[in-house]
Structure 1
Amino acid sequence: MFDYETLKVIWWGLISVLLIGFVITDGFDMGVGALLPVIGKTDQDRRIMINSIAPHWEGNQVWLVLAAGAIFAAWPAVYATAFSGFYVAMMLTLFALFFRPVGFDYRSKIADTRWRSTFDWGIFIGSAVPPIMFGVAFGNLLQGVPFTLDEFLRSTYHGSFFGLLNPFALLVGVFTLLLFVLQGSTWLQMKTEAEMRERARMVSLIVAPLVVSLFAILGLWLAKGVDGYVLTSMIDNNGPANPLLKTAVTESGAWLANYEKYPLAMIAPAVGLLFPLLAWFASKKDYSGSAFTCTSVGIIGVLLTCGLSMFPFIMPSSLDPSASLTVWDAVSSEFTLNIMTIAAAIFIPIILLYTGFAYLKMFGRIGIAHMKKHKHSAY
Structure 2
Amino acid sequence: MSDANLLYVRVLHGRHREDVNQTHPREDVPVTGSLPDVGALIAAIPGPSLYIGPNERVLALNDGARDLLGHYGLGQHYITALRQPDVLDVVEQTFQDGKPRVTRYLGTIGRRDATWQVTAAPAMLSSGRGILLSFEDVTAVEEAGQMRRDFVANVSHELRTPLTALLGFVETLKGAAKDDPVARDRFLTIMEREAGRMSRLVEDLLSLSRVEEGERVRPTDPLALSDLVADVAEFYRPLAQAAGLELRVKLPEAPVTIPGDACQVRQILNNLLENAIKYGRGGGRVDVSLTGPLAEGALRSDGVRLVVRDHGEGIASHHIARLTERFYRVDAHRSREVGGTGLGLAIVKHIVNRHRGRLRIESAPGQGSRFTVILPAR
Q: What TM-score, normalized by structure 1, do the two folds share?
A: 0.21
Question: Which structure has the greater CA radius of gyration?
Answer: 2
Report the structure, 1 or 2, having the larger helix content: 1
Q: What TM-score, normalized by structure 2, do the two folds share?
A: 0.21
